[in-house]
Structure 1
Amino acid sequence: MLPLPVLSVLLLAYQSSASSVLQHDNHFDIMIFTQHWPYTTCIDWENRSRQNSCSRILQTAWSVHGLWPTQFGKIAPNFCNTTWKFDYDSVKEIRPELDIYWPDYEMRGHPNSLWTHEWEKHGTCAAQLPALSSEEKYFQTGIELSKQIRLTEWLKEKNIVPGPAKYTKSEVYNAVLEKTKFRPHIDCEYIDGVQFIKEIKVCFSKNLTLVHCDNIVSTSSYGESTLTNSRGSCSEDKPFLYPAKMNPAYLSLLTSQHATIAFIVFGCGLLTMISLMVAVMVKTNRNVRLGYESL
């Protein structure tokens, strides 16, 4: 049996080691200000499950997804103070502006789900900065940045508007770069092989001045984290849709493509039945992912 002094030293070393493992590194290097396109967000959300639905989209405009303190090369820090829960009373005075600039579209069975998630996961980390040290300051800052980063207006100036036309990542990237003078991050969502523009990220320093969105990590559709360049996840050479409504023409296009395949393989007599079966499979056999809960 080891002498008592030796056991005491070993116990202290173990406790110190365990403490260091459990201790979170809550520092961050950059603030990622993310705006998302509501129609893509809701098309994606509703197509993950037939139980999912979105609230009515009241205005066709880019809106705030979140303001995320971030370490270079990591998706961190997160949930920096698990005891600091979202308190609606802290932001009720700015609710009218939140509904305009930071609306919560994805209906998740409880009110204010987006704001709750963004505050508890990201806001409690941003609160390390005096300018973001309360719920009201955090959300008000997001509102003010949205007024500054006028994506809807900037894209329209370059004739990039929602509708049936397709656009390239370079067109959007250059439109934002021209206005901010700093490299943005353009992200897309792939739904049944069709690419939709979903998010545009613009980055800020800790004193909320614009910086390049370099060395930030992107989360793939399957929840995998990958280090990306500043241009983002949209394909460099494949145009994407910028939808103007919830039921874009691509859905009927997919159905007709599946119907054609069914006709060739099984013949005209089984066309109707196979088309219906494929339509159901298109809707239900998707990888179910967590929406903004992964962000």
Structure 2
Amino acid sequence: MCVSLLPLLVSLSPALLFLPEVTEGHREDYKYGHRAAELHDTKQFCSWKCLLFTLQWPAGFCKSLNNETLCMIPQSVNGWTIHGLWPLRDECNCHCWPMFHSDVQELDAELTEHWPSLLKIKSSFHFWTDEWKKHGSCVACVEGLNSPLKYFQICLKLRRQFDIQKLLEDAGITPSCERTYKVAAVHDVLAPHLGDKHEVQCVTDDKDRQVWFQVKIPLSRNVTVGCGHHGDADGDPAAGSGPRSGSSPGHPCPPEVPLYYLPIDHQKPKLPCG
């Protein structure tokens, strides 16, 4: 016997039949973090103890790509750029907290300069939304990070705090096609500011050289330098993140092998030295 379910469906509350629409009013709630308690399961998202703040060198990033035509370094980019702020745990990939361009519109100029996409096939906003979905939504249980706006504000503040380009320049470490640097010398310059546990990462280029790619800075849950907890350190939260797809190609620069700190070339980003 067939029984129609239509009367039952009609009698149900519309809230049970449809997901709530995200209105402009709700966007303000998301923007300033009012929805954090509703959208986050503490056990699922907040088990991490440490963060990694990662800065990348555009010339090294371009060397990490297999396809030399993909890379693009905007004219406004002449320094280290943000790769991400990642809790040391698996990616969230949380669709529960949407991000809109209006959430970060007031930061647009700073983000475009300091957190650009370096891929022709991905816009900077697409890069930012990926980072929020994959990583930012994991840290939103922390009061100072509990919205897209706050997350990106903190990242820009950390970028200003860790002005590694100036630290290196003051120590005579500048980009060059010919000159190489010892990893230990780089560590000695950065350690007083980034902590002893920071990691200098390289990629191996097509000439089998170690090319400086990025720096990973461990932070505690309150976003201060250093983290003494080791239980969350399994795996690499960079895998699958950033403006590329697939795993991060970076690896710790071998201490016994000199590294190249290549210059930025906006016209030939993949081949800055010819």
Q: Do both share a fold (TM > 0.5)?
A: yes
Q: Report the counterpart of residue 255 of structure 2 in structure 1.
A: 236
Give the length in aligned residue pairs.
Answer: 216
| In 2, Cα distance between equivalents of 1:242 and 1:155 | 11
SS in 1 for 2:202: strand
Distance change >3 Å, CA 157–CA 28, structure 1 → 2: same
CA gap of 1:170–1:214, structure 2 versus 1, over 3 A, is farther
Q: Which residue of structure 2 lines up, in the alignment, with residue 199 of structure 1?
A: 214
TM-superposed CA distance for 1:85, in Å, is: 3.0
Give me the TM-score of the superposition, normalised by structure 2. 0.70
RMSD (CA atoms):
2.8
User: Which runs of structure 2 are paired with 1:101-140 in the superposition (5 Å)?
Assistant: 101-110=114-123, 112-140=125-153
The one of 175, 187, 200 aligned to 2:201? 187
> Would the aligned equivalents of 1:80 and 1:121 in 2 still touch at CA under 8 Å?
yes
Q: How much does 1:24 deviate?
A: 4.8
Structure 1 counterpart of 2:272, one-letter code: P
CA distance in 2, matches of 1:81, 1:54: 29
| Equivalent-residue separation in structure 2 for 1:113 and 1:42 (angstroms) | 18
Structure 1 gaps, min length 5: 1-22, 71-75, 227-231, 253-295
Is this contact kept in 2: 1:183–1:214, CA < 8 A? Answer: no
Structure number with the higher strand fraction is 1
Structure 1 residue 144: Cα displacement = 0.2
Match of 2:62 in 1: 42
- Number of the residue aligned with 2:154: 141
- Equivalent-residue separation in structure 2 for 1:61 and 1:213 (angstroms): 30
The structure 2 residue matched to 1:156, chosen from 155, 169, 172, is 169
Q: Secondary structure at the match of 1:176?
A: helix
Task: Give percent identity, aligned residues only.
Answer: 24
The answer to whether the aligner puts 1:64 opposite 2:82 as a matched pair is yes
Give the deviation of 1:82 after TM superposition.
2.2
Question: Structure 2: how far apart are the matches of 1:153 and 1:225?
Answer: 26
Query: Match of 1:176?
Result: 190
Q: Supply the AA of the counterpart residue of 2:220.
A: S
> Displacement of 1:103 after TM fit?
2.0
- 1:111, distance to aligned residue in structure 2 (A): 5.2
Task: Output one character per residue of 1:5-62: Cα deviation in whole Å (capped at 9) or x when no partner.
Answer: xxxxxxxxxxxxxxxxxx95651110111000011112323xx125523142423211
Q: Distance in 2 between matches of 1:159 and 1:212?
A: 29
Partner secondary structure for residue 107 of structure 1? coil
* Aligned residues of 2:139 and 2:146 also touching (Cα < 8 A): yes
CA contact (8 A) 1:38 1:57 kept: no
Is the partner of 2:108 in helix, strand or coil?
Answer: helix
TM-score computed with the length of structure 1 as normaliser: 0.66
Looking at CA atoms only, which structure, 1 or 2, has the larger radius of gyration? 1
Shift of 1:224: 8.8
Decide whether the 8 Å contact of 1:37 with 1:62 is kept in 2. Answer: yes
